[in-house]
Amino acid sequence: MTDNKSDSSIEWASQAYALLKQKQELKKQEVQQKVEQQKVEQQKVEQQKLEQQKLEQLTAEVNKSDFSNLQKDTEVKLGEFDDDFTWSAMVLAAQGKKVNEISIDEIDWLSKLRRGLEETRKGFVSELLDKLGDDPLTPESLDDLETLLIRADVGIDSTDKVINSLRKKLNEEVVGGEEGIKFLKDELRAIIEKPIKNSGTNILIPQKGKLNVWLIVGVNGVGKTTTLGKLAYLSSKSNYKTLIAAADTFRAAAVEQLQVWGDRSNVDVISNQSKNADPAAVVFDAINAANKRKSDLLLVDTAGRLQNKNNLMDELSKIKKIIDKKVPDASIESLLVLDASQGQNGLKQAKSFAKSANLSGAIITKLDGTSRGGVSLAVSAEVNLPIRFIGAGEGIKDLRPFNSFEFIEALLADR
């Protein structure tokens, strides 16, 4: 699918591009109309209430904030009809999407993901393609592949698995370069899919009719708070009643940082500003608030901790106990945030955390600009954790539910 730009695929992509362009044009017009409408309404209000100076000012302020919201909604722009667009459109088409079903947001995200994984790819796919060329695979090219996979932080277990499968296939038949890449993609996808299939949940979304509590955990600075902010945006955009618990009472300004994300996504933050507040007490208050408001999802930010600090790991257990006690039928997820750029170190963290923190999934962040994106495979294979979301940037929209097909296509994109 990614190999040759056939005429029909370019045709498909240009149709998709034209449709998106039209959509964007329509959206622009719609926004303009709305803005015009608001302006007219504003004028009416001003005329009617000329004598009430104060009220007039308030109206202007309200209108000002409405405009900024409208502008925010159109902030993703359709870029050029270039390689990025064509590749992204093809990846969506390969998953059965129709031309009129794709959105600018999806194209934007895939382009970002592909660009983000460029560094990982550089030391891996480009060399792989150079080495394999169009010739059939040989035992020597398998040795090269082994080295490249290990270098891309894919991990020993996953690499062994892939190389053994390829070797077996080579013993049975001649495998061309192109077919080798396809086989490699299938094998890597199977590795990353396994824990997801085992969990019985394809994509993690809040369960209906009960409170969902998602604990965001991990070592210092991996991107927990940023990820939580992006999750709050995703979930409130998808109409889940969302609430944030500021249970990182350790780091200075942690609450303020969270409050900024809460404001951006229109989600309330429950916090306790007093010094040395107990994180479990914050969670206690947040559950009360969530119950009162009939929230669907409570996102809990926690302090960065090293997996070997027993007192801090105990603190996490205490938070979990409070949740179990107060809302025994809640659906609880403990999501470990891992910074992809930490490579094998991140893998070590995942292993230790998995032992002591009863994790249910992983979120890989900072996939933009690292050469170690392959570590996602090692997390799946060696820690058996389903990857639930991936982040590739610091913006509010730079986090998506994990899609193994898109990830492997981006990892092994050849142009």
Ligand X SMILES: Nc1nc2c(ncn2[C@@H]2O[C@H](COP(=O)(O)OP(=O)(O)OP(=O)(O)O)[C@@H](O)[C@H]2O)c(=O)[nH]1
Q: Which residues in this chain contact ligand X in the complex, by CB under 6 A?
A: 218, 220-226, 248, 251, 254, 304, 365-366, 368, 391-394, 398
Shortest Å, Cβ 114 to ligand X: 15
Q: Which CB, 20 or 117, lies closer to ligand X?
A: 117
Shortest Å, Cβ 101 to ligand X: 27
CA distances from 259 to 72, 73, 82, 237, 242 (A): 19, 21, 38, 17, 14
Shortest Å, Cβ 301 to Mg ion: 6
Give which of 357, 296, 283 is closest to 326, Cα–Cα: 283
Q: Which CB, 132 or 255, lies closer to ligand X?
A: 255
One-letter amino acid for residue 111 of the chain = S
Q: Which CB, 86 or 342, lies closer to ligand X?
A: 342
Run of H or E residues at 323: helix 310-326
220, interface contact from ligand X, Mg ion, none, CB < 5-8 Å by kind? ligand X
Per the structure block, which two tokens stand in for 192?
Answer: 């990353």
269, interface contact from ligand X, Mg ion, none, CB < 5-8 Å by kind? none
Chain position carrying tokens 């891309």: 152
One-letter amino acid for residue 141 of the chain = S
One-letter amino acid for residue 341 of the chain = S
- 303 vs 315: CA distance, rounded Å: 10
Run of H or E residues at 246: strand 242-247
Q: Which CB, 107 or 363, lies closer to ligand X?
A: 363
Q: Which CB, 161 or 400, lies closer to ligand X?
A: 400
224 binds Mg ion (CB under 5 A): yes
Q: Which residue is nearest to Mg ion (CB)?
A: 225
Q: Which CB, 170 or 219, lies closer to Mg ion?
A: 219
Helix, strand counts (H, E) of the chain: 16, 8
Shortest Å, Cβ 205 to Mg ion: 24
The DSSP line for 46-67 is HHHTTT-HHHHHHHHHHHHHHH
Q: Which residue is nearest to ligand X (CB)?
A: 304
Shortest Å, Cβ 50 to ligand X: 47
Shortest Å, Cβ 306 to ligand X: 10
CB atoms within 10 A of CB 376: 31
Q: Which CB, 133 or 401, lies closer to ligand X?
A: 401
154, interface contact from ligand X, Mg ion, none, CB < 5-8 Å by kind? none
Give which of 335, 307, 305 is closest to 399, Cα–Cα: 335
Q: Which CB, 333 or 382, lies closer to Mg ion?
A: 333
Q: With contact defined as beta carbons under 8 Å apart, do 34 and 70 qualify? A: yes
- Binder to Mg ion among 42, 88, 225, 272 (CB under 5 A)? 225
106, interface contact from Mg ion, ligand X, none, CB < 5-8 Å by kind? none
User: At 216, is the secondary structure helix, strand, or coil?
Assistant: strand
Shortest Å, Cβ 248 to Mg ion: 5
358, interface contact from Mg ion, ligand X, none, CB < 5-8 Å by kind? none
How many alpha carbons fall within 13 Å on the CB side of residue 1? 22
Q: For binding to Mg ion (CB under 5 A), which residues are involved?
A: 224-225
